[in-house]
């Protein structure tokens, strides 16, 4: 029985790997037509398991193409280019833009210490807290780590942004302030508070007044309640490979870090402004600095806003990806060619699997539009889930076999063979070590398995709970065997 399970598992995994292997699209080097781009997008939606997607391409001041595919909800409502979704960290560029606006008005300086504006701001290290500046936050060089920014405690929908900043008193930096880049959502939560304090307006009101309204982004929202009333798409999560429409609590306090809600149509207005030195129609979103308008783009989340007319190599590409548990977005543009693409999807297939995300698809669309081949395809989501699900089923069968062996009529040696290694050490390793290695990296480990499991289940609940259940059942089997051995020895 055990041998059959192993052979069947290996066969399924091998077939899954073969069929999920990436393939290279065949492009002849000429600019792809919109029909070809649409076909490519639909193919990638199928491979990545995306239920609904909208996209748009801009060039100069014009929207040259926009289209949507799939469904916006389980009732069959079609996805459109005016269907709102959460755009994730693409919204960080809007927070950076708001900072640039305040700098241009003379209300803010990039070298200002955060504590000069928010005296209450404090990390676990008082000295580091005093050194962090606005620029450090914008460029993700504050020393605050990525894992700290992904702590589920910061996604509590009941907390305000001020409360989130207060919680940071327990955060330790993992590198000297200003030494190097490490992405963290906490940086942009703090910036949202700074924008509110300097402008005298709540961050949502500032974005509405200084970004959405000037850019005529009429279907963009700073609250989920407003967006739902205007036809916001459902969001999908994957449970063992099956896409399920789920409602995930909306952490409004993290708006400045990536919870803006917008549409492909509205994002073309933003892209046009980015591609045209902050100019959209007759309006400029970069103003009051006594100079010619500069670009609204935040290159790698910095605030240099290059004047594209001053030089640079044509064809350079800037990419921004955004994701939430059940939404994803990608924005990419070529500043010197004034071309941009936005892609919005109502699921996040690359949450933990190496499949193409909305950001990957946006980049591929830009390459196709400019006569280049897309990046190589990534594995298909459903086939990767077949492998994962098969391994979990094989694990369940193995655990059941260990329990069955315990209460079978097999001899004493057979029933207790491998009790230490298989029934005790293996599940303990899964429970204590697996989440740490999944979330950490060399030099950046969080040696707290409870916290790591909490974070892992927050992102991947199906696989996380399945692993805990299997490891727990196997460990319990081992404990029972130990008690039996002790009782027999007495």
CATH code, domain with 318: 3.40.710.10
Q: What is the pLDDT of residue 468?
A: 97
Verify that 74 and 214 share a domain, yes or no: yes
Verify that 162 and 186 share a domain, yes or no: yes
Which of 54-68, 250-264, 473-487 is predicted least confidently?
473-487
Verify that 242 and 349 share a domain, yes or no: yes
Verify that 359 and 409 share a domain, yes or no: no
Averaged over 382-400, what is the pLDDT?
96
Verify that 338 and 465 share a domain, yes or no: no
CA–CA separation, 331 vs 396, rounded Å? 42
Averaged over 51-61, what is the pLDDT?
96
- State which of 20-24, 217-221, 418-422 shows the largest mean pLDDT: 217-221
Are the C-beta atoms of residues 459 and 439 closer than 8 Å to each other?
A: no
Q: Where are the beta strands (DSSP E) in 48-146?
A: 52-59, 62-70, 85-86
Averaged over 384-402, what is the pLDDT?
95
Q: What is the pLDDT of residue 18?
A: 40
Which of 164-173, 264-273, 289-298, 427-436 is predicted least confidently?
289-298
Question: Is 403's pLDDT higher than 60?
Answer: yes
Domain end, chosen from 344, 369, 394, is at: 369
Verify that 360 and 395 share a domain, yes or no: no
Q: Which residues of 284-320 are buried (b: 16+ CB within 10 A; e: fewer)?
A: bbbeeeeeebbbbbbbebbbebbebeeeeeeeebbeb
Verify that 309 and 388 share a domain, yes or no: no
Q: What share of the chain is helix, strand, coil (3-state, %, to 5)?
A: 50, 15, 40
22 within domain boundaries: no
Q: What is the pLDDT of residue 489?
A: 73
28 within domain boundaries: no
Verify that 365 and 403 share a domain, yes or no: no
Verify that 121 and 42 share a domain, yes or no: yes
Q: What is the pLDDT of residue 421?
A: 84
Work out the percent of the chain whose per-residue pLDDT is above 90: 69
Q: What is the pLDDT of residue 16?
A: 46
Domain end, chosen from 369, 400, 416, is at: 369
72 within domain boundaries: yes
Q: What is the pLDDT of residue 413?
A: 66
CB 78: neighbour CB atoms within 10 A?
Answer: 12
Q: Which residue has the tokens 């009333």?
A: 229
**Comparison of pLDDT for 24 and 467, the residue scoring more:** 467
pLDDT grade for 311, boundaries at 50, 70 and 90: very low
pLDDT grade for 22, boundaries at 50, 70 and 90: very low
CA–CA separation, 318 vs 338, rounded Å? 11
Question: Is 360's pLDDT higher than 90?
Answer: yes
Domain that holds residue 393: 2-12+381-489
Q: What is the pLDDT of residue 409?
A: 64
Q: What is the pLDDT of residue 414?
A: 63
Q: Which residues contact 409 (CB under 8 A, 6 or more apart)?
A: none
78 within domain boundaries: yes
159 within domain boundaries: yes
Averaged over 381-392, what is the pLDDT?
96
Two tokens at 182?
């490490």
Verify that 89 and 181 share a domain, yes or no: yes
Q: What is the pLDDT of residue 355?
A: 94
pLDDT grade for 67, boundaries at 50, 70 and 90: very high
Q: What is the pLDDT of residue 348?
A: 95
377-383-385-386 Cα dihedral, nearest 10 degrees: -160
pLDDT grade for 287, boundaries at 50, 70 and 90: low
239 within domain boundaries: yes
Question: Is 76's pLDDT higher than 80?
Answer: yes
Q: Which tens digit of pLDDT belongs to each residue from 87-103?
A: 999 999 999 999 999 99
Q: Domain tally for the chain? A: 2
Q: What is the pLDDT of residue 163?
A: 97
Q: Where are the beta strands (DSSP E) in 176-317?
A: 235-239, 242-246, 261-262, 279-280, 283-284
Average pLDDT score over the chain: 86
Domain end, chosen from 342, 369, 396, is at: 369
Taking alpha carbons only, the member of 98, 107, 39 closest to residue 69 is 39
Verify that 41 and 162 share a domain, yes or no: yes
Verify that 307 and 426 share a domain, yes or no: no
């Amino acid at each position: 029985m055990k041998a059959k399970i192993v052979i069947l598992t290996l066969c399924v995994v091998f077939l899954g790997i073969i069929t999920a292997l990436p393939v290279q699209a065949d492009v002849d080097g000429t600019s792809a037509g919109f029909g070809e781009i649409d076909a490519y997008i639909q193919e990638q939606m199928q491979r990545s398991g995306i239920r609904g997607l909208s996209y748009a391409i801009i060039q100069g001041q014009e929207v040259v193409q926009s289209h949507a595919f799939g469904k916006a909800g389980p009732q069959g409502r079609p996805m459109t280019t005016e269907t709102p979704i959460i755009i994730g960290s693409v919204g960080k560029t809007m927070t950076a833009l708001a900072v640039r606006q305040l700098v241009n008005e003379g209300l803010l300086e990039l070298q200002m210490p955060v504590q000069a504006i928010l005296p209450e701001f404090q990390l676990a290290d008082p000295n580091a807290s005093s050194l962090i500046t606005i620029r450090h936050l914008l460029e993700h060089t504050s020393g605050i780590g990525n894992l700290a920014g992904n702590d589920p405690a910061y996604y509590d929908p009941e907390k305000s942004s001020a409360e989130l900043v207060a919680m940071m008193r327990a955060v330790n930096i993992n590198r000297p302030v200003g030494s190097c880049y490490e992405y963290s959502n906490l940086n942009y939560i703090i910036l949202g508070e700074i924008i509110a304090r300097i402008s005298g307006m709540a961050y949502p009101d500032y974005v509405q007044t200084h970004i959405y309204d000037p850019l005529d982004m009429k279907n963009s929202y700073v609250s989920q309640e407003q967006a739902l009333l205007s036809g916001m798409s459902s969001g999908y999560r994957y449970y063992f490979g099956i896409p399920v429409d789920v409602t995930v609590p909306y952490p409004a306090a993290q708006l400045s870090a990536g919870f803006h809600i917008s549409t492909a149509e509205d994002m073309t207005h933003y892209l046009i402004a980015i591609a045209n030195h902050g100019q959209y129609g007759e309006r400029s979103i970069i103003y009051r600095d006594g100079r010619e308008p500069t670009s609204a783009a935040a290159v790698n989340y910095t605030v240099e806003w290059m004047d594209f007319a001053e030089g640079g190599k044509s064809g350079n590409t800037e990419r921004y990806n955004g994701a939430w548990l059940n939404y994803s977005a990608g924005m990419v543009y070529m500043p010197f060619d004034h071309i941009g693409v936005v892609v919005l999807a109502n699921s996040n297939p690359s949450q933990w699997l190496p499949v193409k995300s909305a950001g990957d698809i946006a980049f591929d669309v830009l390459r196709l539009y400019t006569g280049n081949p897309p990046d190589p395809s990534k594995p298909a989501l459903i086939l990767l889930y077949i492998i994962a699900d098969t391994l979990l089923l094989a694990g369940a069968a193995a655990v059941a076999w260990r329990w069955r062996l315990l209460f079978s009529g097999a001899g004493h040696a057979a029933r207790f063979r491998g009790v230490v290694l298989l029934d005790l050490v293996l599940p303990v390793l899964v429970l204590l070590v697996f989440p740490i290695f999944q979330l950490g990296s060399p030099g950046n480990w969080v040696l707290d398995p409870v916290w790591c499991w909490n974070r892992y289940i927050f992102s991947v609940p199906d696989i996380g709970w399945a692993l805990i259940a299997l490891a727990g059942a196997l460990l319990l089997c081992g404990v029972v065997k130990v008690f039996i051995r002790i009782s027999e020895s007495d």
